[in-house]
Amino acid sequence: MKFFIDTANLDQIREANELGVLDGVTTNPSLMAKEGIKGVENCNRHYVEICSIVKGDVSAEVIATDYESMIKEGTALATLHPNIVVKVPCIADGIKAIKYFSEKGIRTNCTLIFSPGQALLAAKAGATYVSPFVGRLDDIASDGIELVEKIVDMFNYYGFETQVLAASIRSTQHIIQCIEAGADVATCPLSAIKGLLNHPLTDSGLQKFLADHKKVNS
């Protein structure tokens, strides 16, 4: 399973990248706003900066919600860097735009996926990725991981090449569940990725190794 980091924060992107296991980045308008980045020029500069840090796909989301404007905006985003993936919301004009982009060889990430039917439409339109939102379904007492499993099964059954990119990941446990569900990618906060490292037996085992080494070497 590939690891993407779900942030527009350059320090966090650098830190995750330095671990050596980062495969890409996802952003969204809320994450860009959180970093105080406003205006098209600044957003574009920021996407290019992210692409210069990470060797992998970087999702940049369109703000437009009508077909013509999505095409214009997405085409401009795709020209910023070869690793840019145009992120498009799962609405009717978004599905049409994904179809257009896929025919032009522009890669897409269909976002705000909350049902297998939405994922099916995005895959049929030729999306490179679909992003089911795990945490937001859990927030409303639904089961986000179950949706990931259903989409993975459906894509395998019908042979779709679209990758399942589990998004709205909130915890280390979610990452483990995404692996079990067969997600192609999980896009995660840095804290959840770092949480994978934690195990008390690793810490106590290392302390014992070092103490035993010191006994005979001092």
The binding site for ligand G3P (CB under 6 A) comprises: 6, 26, 28, 133, 135-136, 167-168, 170, 187
87 given a catalytic annotation = yes
Q: How far is the CB of 136 from ligand G3P (least distance, A)?
A: 5
Q: How far is the CB of 94 from ligand G3P (least distance, A)?
A: 15
Name the CA radius of gyration of the chain, rounded. Answer: 19
Tell me which of 34, 55, 87, 99 is the catalytic residue.
Answer: 87
Return the amino acid letter for 149.
Answer: E
Q: Decide: 13 and 54 in contact? Cβ < 8 Å.
A: yes
Strand pairing partners for 84?
A: 58
Q: Decide: 167 and 26 in contact? Cβ < 8 Å.
A: yes
Residue closer to ligand G3P (CB basis): 28 or 162: 28
Nearest Cα to Cα of residue 152 among 119, 187, 127, 108: 119
State the pairing for strand pair 163-166/24-26.
Answer: unpaired
Residue closer to ligand G3P (CB basis): 140 or 216: 140
How does DSSP classify residue 160?
A: -
Q: How far is the CB of 67 from ligand G3P (least distance, A)?
A: 22
Q: How far is the CB of 144 from ligand G3P (least distance, A)?
A: 10
Residue closer to ligand G3P (CB basis): 90 or 215: 90
- Residues taking part in catalysis: 87
